[in-house]
Amino acid sequence: MGAFDEGRFNVELENGVNLGGCVELGFEEDPETVAIEDSVKILLQGLGEDVNREGLRKTPLRVAKALREGTRGYRQRVNDIVQGALFPEAGLETGIGHAGGAGGIVIVRDLDLFSYCECCLLPFQVKCHVGYVPSGQRVVGLSKLSRVADVFAKRLQDPQRLADEVCSALHSGIKPTGVAVVLQCLHIHFPNFESAFFDLNHQGWVKMQFTSGAGVFEDDKADIWGDFRSLLKFRGINFEKTCPRDSSYKCWCPSQAISKMGPANSGMVSAVASIIRSLGEDPLRNELLETPTRFVKWLMNFKKLHSFRAKLVSFWSQCEHHLLPFHGVVHIGYIRTEGVNPIGKSLLQSIVHFHGFKLQVQERLTRQIAETASSLLGGDVMVVVEANHACMISRGIEKFGSNTATVAVLGRFSTDLASREKFMQSIPNFPTAGE
């Protein structure tokens, strides 16, 4: 097992579990919620925004709801989730071997989770696979494996610690012969303002795999791991991509490089520390010490811009309703008009970047790109924006793999069905997150 906060973990095991710790409908007046709202207003003001603007007026409350829901694991304890769901199951009655409640391996695959990265406060996606070897002639209800994993995922997390905590909780609660946990994690890699212009090979996602084992799985070279890996290969999992346990921070969160970038606004840093405290965490915990600074430096990419000078860029933006990122591709089509010179792809990308790198909603972004391009291209413009939104996975709906398309049509495109269809047919397939 890797190192994690065993003291806090053991206290939770002793105190049992409170499954009623989810955000309640009337939580708006809770001191923690109000404190988060006040901190979000400071962040918005630091970006040069008007907190009373129509699109931002309810943003502090929306952010507070999303964060409290996404970290509800702090209000849940981890013991006894499985205690009421252990069922007697006989093993083999005769012969040599393992099966049933005495040694037959059980694996639950493809549990979709999300968590908030403790390094940068951005959400990351998790595909969780849990296996255990029953003992004592009993098995556990399979849904409890998912519930235990979700309690730990709904906290500020590091993937390796997440795997270790899930593994330890199950091993302590079920008391099996062994437990194994494999996490496939996907972390958005958001470029900073400068690198987005010039890095044409920027990779939008970091993919890593993490494992943890207890009991017969504690030795990662044990034969039982061979059975576990074989059963996961049906899901296309390549264990060669597993992150070494002693280097998870070095190879995981892309925000580690942000710490080296200049000073950050101290008031905004204090506001983020207050948010972390209101969620039930200690902002002075060693792994969280630099998190407020990293988050503020990342957020400042979206400070209001009044001029721009740009070359090739990718489409990245920030949802003004939830202060979570969205990114994707923009397709721009136009009808050549006599007397209007065509413009290069670099200028079109500059237009997208200018409108994207600020607090936005996808519908407005689509319209603004179309209107700006129309003024340069003679008026006959069609724009399709396709994007993955972090808020679609990190809030209650948790819709993994979904994406959103928005369309703007100006000039002849609004009446010429044939031109619209021809443009639509030219659009390539847009992959979902991580593909």
**Residue 76's pLDDT band (boundaries 50, 70, 90)?**
confident
pLDDT at 62 over 50: yes
Domain boundary pick from 213, 230, 257:
257
Q: Given this model, what pLDDT does residue 315 score?
A: 80
Instruction: Based on the fold, state whether residues 190 and 101 are members of the same structural domain.
Output: yes
Provide mean pLDDT across the span 415-428. 83
What's the pLDDT tens digit per position in 160-183? 999 999 999 999 888 889 999 999
Domain assignment of residue 222, yes or no: yes
Instruction: Based on the fold, state whether residues 101 and 245 are members of the same structural domain.
Output: yes
Residue closest to 125 by CA, chosen among 203, 204, 180, 207: 207
Domain assignment of residue 179, yes or no: yes
Q: Given this model, what pLDDT does residue 230 score?
A: 87
Instruction: Based on the fold, state whether residues 173 and 92 are members of the same structural domain.
Output: yes
Q: What is the DSSP letter of 96?
A: S
Our measurement of the distance from residue 228's CA atom to the centroid of its chain's CA atoms, rounded to an integer in Å, reads 27
pTM of the model: 0.74
pLDDT at 43 over 60: yes
Domain boundary pick from 219, 237, 257:
257
Instruction: Based on the fold, state whether residues 220 and 114 are members of the same structural domain.
Output: yes
Contacts of 93 (CB under 8 A, 6+ apart): none
**Residue 95's pLDDT band (boundaries 50, 70, 90)?**
low
Gap between the Cα atoms of 384 and 370, Å rounded: 9
Q: Print burial letters for 143-180: b (CB count within 10 Å at least 16), e (below 16).
A: ebbbbbbbbbbbbbbbbbbbbbbbbbbbbbbbebbbbb
Domain assignment of residue 309, yes or no: no
Burial (Cβ within 10 Å: 0-12, 13-18, ≥19) of residue 316: buried
Instruction: Based on the fold, state whether residues 226 and 85 are members of the same structural domain.
Output: yes
Domain boundary pick from 222, 238, 257:
257
Domain assignment of residue 107, yes or no: yes
What's the pLDDT tens digit per position in 102-161? 667 889 999 999 999 999 999 899 999 999 998 877 888 888 899 999 999 999 999 999
Instruction: Based on the fold, state whether residues 354 and 217 are members of the same structural domain.
Output: no
Instruction: Based on the fold, state whether residues 357 and 209 are members of the same structural domain.
Output: no
What's the pLDDT tens digit per position in 215-248? 999 998 888 898 888 888 877 777 766 777 665 5
What's the pLDDT tens digit per position in 285-322? 999 999 999 999 888 877 754 333 333 345 888 899 98
Residue numbers of the domain that contains 327: 315-425
Domain assignment of residue 229, yes or no: yes
Instruction: Based on the fold, state whether residues 227 and 100 are members of the same structural domain.
Output: yes
Domain assignment of residue 186, yes or no: yes
**Residue of higher predicted confidence among 269 and 24:** 269
- Strand pairing of 359-360 and 315-319? parallel
Residue with tokens 């443009």: 423
Domain assignment of residue 223, yes or no: yes
Instruction: Based on the fold, state whether residues 321 and 176 are members of the same structural domain.
Output: no
Among 56-70, 99-113, 250-264, 287-301, where is mean pLDDT lowest? 250-264
- CATH number of the domain encompassing residue 335: 3.30.1130.10
Query: Amino acid identity of 109?
Result: R
DSSP-assigned states of every residue in 261-289 = S----HHHHHHHHHHHHHTT--TTSGGGT
Instruction: Based on the fold, state whether residues 90 and 236 are members of the same structural domain.
Output: yes
Instruction: Based on the fold, state whether residues 99 and 213 are members of the same structural domain.
Output: yes
Instruction: Based on the fold, state whether residues 91 and 216 are members of the same structural domain.
Output: yes
pLDDT at 341 over 90: no
pLDDT at 7 over 80: no
CB 393 within 8 A of CB 124: no
Residue closest to 162 by CA, chosen among 177, 145, 183, 176: 183
Report the number of distinct structural domains present in the chain: 2
Gap between the Cα atoms of 37 and 39, Å rounded: 5
pLDDT at 339 over 90: no
Domain assignment of residue 23, yes or no: no
Gap between the Cα atoms of 269 and 291, Å rounded: 9
**Residue of higher predicted confidence among 185 and 428:** 185
